[in-house]
Homo-oligomer: A and B are copies of this chain.
Amino acid sequence: MRLRDLGEFGVIRRIERAAARAWPRAPGVVVGIGDDAAVLRPRRGEDVVVTTDALVEGVHFRFETQSPLAIGRRALVANLSDLAAMGARPLGCLLALAAPPRLPVRTLDALVAGILREGRAHGCPLVGGNVARAREVSLTITAVGAVARGRALRRTGARARDRILVTGTLGGAALEVARAERGRGRVRGVPAPRLAAGRALARLRGVGACIDVSDGLEADLAHLLEPAGLAGALDPARLPRPRGFDAACRRLGLDPERLVLGGGEDYELLFTLRPGTPSAARLARRLGVEVTEIGRVLRRPRGRTPPPRGFRHF
C-alpha cells in the first residue's frame, strides 16, 4: 500500500493514531494533533524555545544506507539537540512531512515510529504537523521547549581565556556514515541528544557560550567564536573519540583527526566556561555525561584564517 491509497486525510489519521498510541496523555499538552494548531503549556516563569530542522532525501539521508526508523529518530534528535544546546526541556514537536504519493505506507509508519520512539525517550510528544506531496521525501520537524526565564544558553557570550569543553565523544557519527557509504552496513546508531546535560548547564554559573555539534567541531566552534573576534586553541590529542576509533578509521583509509574536527551530527554539547569554574571531572558528575576540556579561547590573530571544515549545503 502506498500513500496515494490512503489520501491526505488517511495519512494524517494514521500519524494521529500512532501518536495517540505512543502518548495516550501527555502532560503539558493542552491540544495535540487534529486542531488548527497545537496548544502547549509552559510552567510559570518559563520562556518558550523553538527550533526547526529538515532532513531531505538524497541530501541528508538515503534509504539505501539508513533505515526509515533511524531516519525518523535522527530527524527528531537533530531538533532535540538544539533544545539541549539552549538548556531547554521539550514540550512537544510538529512534523511537516513531504513525500511522493508512491511512498510505501510501511516507510511512512517506520519514519513516524522513529520520531515517536525518540519522543517517548526524551519526553517530547508529537502534537501536530502537516503533510504535503513532493518529489522527494523530507521531514521538517519543529521542536518546542521551555527554559527558566532568561536562562537559555546562548551561542554568544564566549570570552578570551574561557575554557572550551565538550560532552561525550566526537567523530563516531561521521565514521558510521563513511562505513555505510563504503557498503559496510547501514547507519544504525542514533546519537542521544544531551538534554539533561543542557539543563544542568543552564543552571550552572560561569557558562560563556553553548552550541551542539551538528556541522562538525571546527565549524561549530567557529559559530561561537568568530562573530566575537575570538579563536580557539585546541589540543588535538585531547579531542575525545569513541573507543577503537583511530584503528577503525585507519582500516577504512580515513584520517581520524579530520573526522573528529570536521565530522558532524554527533550532537554533543560544545561550550565555554569562565576560568576558575569546576574541573571537567566534577562537571561530568553534575551533567551526568563524560566531559572533556579540549582547549581555550584566544583573541583572534589578525590576518586570514582558513575556513572551517564541515558540511555545506549550497
Given contacts A39-B47, A82-B36, A132-B60, contact A314 B101 (CB under 8 A): yes
**Residues of B contacting A7 in the complex (Cβ-Cβ under 8 angstroms):** 312-314
Given contacts A7-B312, A314-B101, contact A86 B39 (CB under 8 A): yes
A27 to chain B, nearest CB (A): 14
The reply to whether B54 and A96 contact each other, CB–CB distance below 8 Å, is yes
A residues apposed to B, CB below 8 Å:
3-4, 6-8, 10-11, 30-31, 34-42, 44, 47-54, 56, 58-60, 82-83, 85-86, 88, 91-92, 94, 96, 98, 101, 127-136, 138, 140, 142-145, 147, 149-150, 152, 154-156, 210-212, 312-314
The reply to whether A51 and B36 contact each other, CB–CB distance below 8 Å, is yes
**Residues of B contacting A42 in the complex (Cβ-Cβ under 8 angstroms):** 42, 48
Most B CB contacts (10 A, CB to CB) among A47, A50, A128 go to: A50
Q: Residue of B at shortest CB range from A60?
A: B132
**Residues of B contacting A53 in the complex (Cβ-Cβ under 8 angstroms):** 96, 130
User: Within the complex, which residue of B39, B94, B98, B144 is in contact with A147, where a contact is CB–CB below 8 Å?
Assistant: B39
**Residues of B contacting A50 in the complex (Cβ-Cβ under 8 angstroms):** 37-40, 50, 92, 94, 127-128, 142, 144
A155 to chain B, nearest CB (A): 5
User: Within the complex, which residue of B134, B140, B152, B313 is in contact with A96, where a contact is CB–CB below 8 Å?
Assistant: B140
Measured in the bound complex, the distance between the Cα atoms of B88 and A35 in whole Å is 13
**Residues of B contacting A60 in the complex (Cβ-Cβ under 8 angstroms):** 132
Most B CB contacts (10 A, CB to CB) among A7, A35, A58, A101 go to: A35
User: Within the complex, which residue of B34, B59, B142, B314 is in contact with A155, where a contact is CB–CB below 8 Å?
Assistant: B34
**Residues of B contacting A48 in the complex (Cβ-Cβ under 8 angstroms):** 39-42, 48, 91, 144
Measured in the bound complex, the distance between the Cα atoms of B40 and A38 in whole Å is 16
User: Within the complex, which residue of B44, B133, B145 is in contact with A314, where a contact is CB–CB below 8 Å?
Assistant: B133
Q: List 7 A-B contacts (CB under 8 A).
A: A3-B314, A8-B313, A10-B314, A37-B82, A54-B132, A58-B135, A130-B140
User: Within the complex, which residue of B51, B59, B91, B127 is in contact with A94, where a contact is CB–CB below 8 Å?
Assistant: B51
Q: Residue of B at shortest CB range from A311?
A: B8
**Residues of B contacting A130 in the complex (Cβ-Cβ under 8 angstroms):** 52-54, 140
**Residues of B contacting A31 in the complex (Cβ-Cβ under 8 angstroms):** 86, 152, 154
Measured in the bound complex, the distance between the Cα atoms of B49 and A42 in whole Å is 11
User: Within the complex, which residue of B36, B41, B98, B313 is in contact with A211, where a contact is CB–CB below 8 Å?
Assistant: B36
Measured in the bound complex, the distance between the Cα atoms of B129 and A54 in whole Å is 9
**Residues of B contacting A154 in the complex (Cβ-Cβ under 8 angstroms):** 31, 35
**Residues of B contacting A37 in the complex (Cβ-Cβ under 8 angstroms):** 49-51, 82-83, 85-86, 88, 143, 145, 152
The reply to whether A36 and B138 contact each other, CB–CB distance below 8 Å, is no
Additional A-B contact list (15), CB under 8 Å, known A30-B152, A35-B156, A140-B140 = A4-B314, A31-B86, A37-B50, A37-B82, A40-B48, A40-B49, A42-B42, A42-B48, A44-B44, A52-B52, A52-B96, A53-B130, A94-B142, A96-B96, A134-B136
